[in-house]
Amino acid sequence: MAELFSDDNNFPKIKEELRSLNRYRVEVGVMVPVGNKSLAFLQMIATVNEFGAEIYPKNGPYLVVPMKDGTFRRLKHVKIPERSFLRDGIDMGMSKIQETVEDGLSAIFNGRMTARELYEEVGLLIKQRIKDEIVLKTLPHNAPLTIENKGKDDPLVDTGALHSSIDFKVVEI
């Protein structure tokens, strides 16, 4: 038993890495501005799609929607349904996330991984799960006007900016 705690093994390093697990957190989401789309704009788009929204005109009786052909449509109200890609991306990938954490903890115990590396691996996994969900989420369908304007019924994909904005960072706390 004494040799387990001797300086000739990796126990002190492993112990320190296990303590380091409390020093980090991973943040994943809309984190990167893309092209001419600001981070604030992309986060607004993400929030509206994640939770849904109802939009009413503020400066007159109609919302004015520009169309690709240069015309405009007047609407009294727009309802954007909930299309949870952030929560679903995590929730539907939870077993893989748990498996990654378990494997990472085992690697830390075996001296093959650091706490920060485990957080990096989890961040990459969650980032990819969310990006996959953006592509896979096809319901609810786009409204007919949106399909006409976009030319397709792909609810979370138009220019690819939302998909490209997803990233992660490991933060020391």
Domain count, the chain: 1
In-domain check, residue 121: yes
In-domain check, residue 66: no
In-domain check, residue 87: yes
In-domain check, residue 63: no
Higher pLDDT among residues 145 and 17, named by residue: 145
Half-sphere exposure of 32 (CA within 13 A, CB side): 14
| Entry pTM | 0.87
In-domain check, residue 2: no
Instruction: Please tell me whether residue 104 adopts helix, strand or coil conformation.
Output: helix
**Angle (CA) 93 96 99, round 5°:** 150
How would DSSP label each residue in 28-68?
EEE---BTTB-HHHHHHHHHHHHH-EEE--SSSS-EEEE-T
In-domain check, residue 77: no
Mean pLDDT score, 26-52 = 97
**pLDDT at residue 6 tops 60:** no
122 bridge partner residues: none
Give dist(CA 168, CA 30) in Å, integer: 8
**What band does 98 get if pLDDT is binned at 50, 70 and 90?**
very high
**pLDDT at residue 58 tops 70:** yes
In-domain check, residue 157: yes
In-domain check, residue 73: no
Domain range holding 118? Answer: 13-52+82-172
For helices 11-20 and 115-136, the axis angle rounded to 10 degrees is: 40
CA dihedral 92, 95, 101, 103 (to 10 degrees): -140
pLDDT of 17 reads 86
